[in-house]
Amino acid sequence: MAPQINPADFTNLTLEAHENDVWVVTLNRPSKRNALDSATVEEMVEFFSLAPRAGVRAIVLAGAGDHFCAGLDLVEHHDADRSPAEFMHLCLRWHEAFNKMEYGGVPIIAALHGAVVGGGLELASSAHVRVMDETTYFALPEGQRGLFTGGGATIRVTDLVGKARMIDMMLMGRVYSGAEAEEVGLAQYRVDGSSFDKAMELANRAAENLPLSNFAICSAVSHMQNMSAMDAAYAEAVVAGVVNTQPDARARLAAFADKSGARIRKD
C-alpha cells in the first residue's frame, strides 16, 4: 500500500495538499528566517522520502515570512560546538534530504523570495525549477563566516553558475539579484509579481505530465550526469524503453496521430 503523509507529523515544515496532487511544503520558522536546524533537516528527509511513493505529482517549496531560507542554523551550530565527526554526520543528513529531492522523481519548484543564502541556496539548488521575484537575492556567505559549504553547493551551485562564479561568490561574498541572478542561472524564472503564484502555475503544469515521465525527468537526468557518456547513453535507452512504452502514453500518442493533440507552436 502507498505510504500516507500526515501533515500533523511535521512541525518545522507546513504541508498542504492541493488539487492535482500538488503539495506545498513551506519552511515554517520565519522568526529564524527559516534557518535549517537539525530538526528541519530530519523533517525534510522524512517528507522527501515519502513523497515519490505517496502519489505526490509535484511540489512547491516555499519559505514563510520575508525570506526563503537563511541557511545553516548558525546559533544551533554555535551552541552545539560540534566535533568534526558530528558536523560530518549532520552534513550527510542534509545530503540525504537534498538527494531525495533531486533524485526522487517528483518535480520540485522552489518559490524564492528574500534571502536564499548559504544552505538556503543549497536547498534551492536541489529543486528542479527555481522561480525568483524582485526581492530575491542569492549568496554563499560561508567564507566570511569562517565556514565552508556542506550541503552540496560545491556540486549543485557550481552546476548552475559554473566554477569561476561559484568560487567568486564564496571568496567575495558576492550577492546576486534581479536580472543578473537570472542570467547566471540561479533561477529559471523571474517574475514581477509573486514567485509563489508562478511556482504553483508551473507545478500544476508539470503535474499534467504522466508520473513516469516526470520520474525520469526528475531523476534520470541527474543520475546520468554522474555517468560516463557511454553509460549515460545506455541508461537513457533503458529508461526510454520503460517510459516511452508506458500504456498511459498511448492515448497521448493516439491524439497526436489523429491530429486532435496539441501542436508545438512558438507562442
Instruction: Determine contact, residues 69/26, Cβ cutoff 8 Å.
Output: no
Instruction: Determine contact, residues 96/38, Cβ cutoff 8 Å.
Output: no
Return the number of the residue (31 or 245) whose C-beta is nearest ligand 1HE.
Answer: 31
Indicate the DSSP class of residue 220.
I
Closest of 204, 210, 178 to residue 191, by C-alpha: 178
Residues recognised as catalytic: 122, 142
Stretch that binds ligand 1HE, among 4-12, 138-146, 171-179, 230-238 (CB under 6 A): 138-146
Helix axes 38-50, 84-103, angle to 10 degrees: 30
Type and span of the H or E element at 154: helix 153-161
Told to check if 145 binds ligand 1HE by CB under 6 A, we report yes
Indicate the DSSP class of residue 72.
B
Among 12, 141, 190, 202, binds ligand 1HE (CB under 6 A): 141
Instruction: Determine contact, residues 27/12, Cβ cutoff 8 Å.
Output: yes
C-alpha cell at 96: 540525504
| Nearest-approach distance from CB 69 to ligand 1HE, in angstroms | 8
Indicate the DSSP class of residue 4.
P
Told to check if 150 binds ligand 1HE by CB under 6 A, we report yes
Stretch that binds ligand 1HE, among 10-18, 141-149, 179-187, 210-218 (CB under 6 A): 141-149
Among 91, 167, 184, 249, binds ligand 1HE (CB under 6 A): 91
Told to check if 151 binds ligand 1HE by CB under 6 A, we report yes
Among 50, 61, 70, 129, binds ligand 1HE (CB under 6 A): 70
Among 39, 64, 74, 243, binds ligand 1HE (CB under 6 A): 74
Q: What length is written for the chain?
A: 267
Which residue ranges make up the site for ligand 1HE (CB under 6 A)?
31-33, 35, 67, 70-75, 91, 94, 115, 117-119, 141-142, 145, 147, 149-151
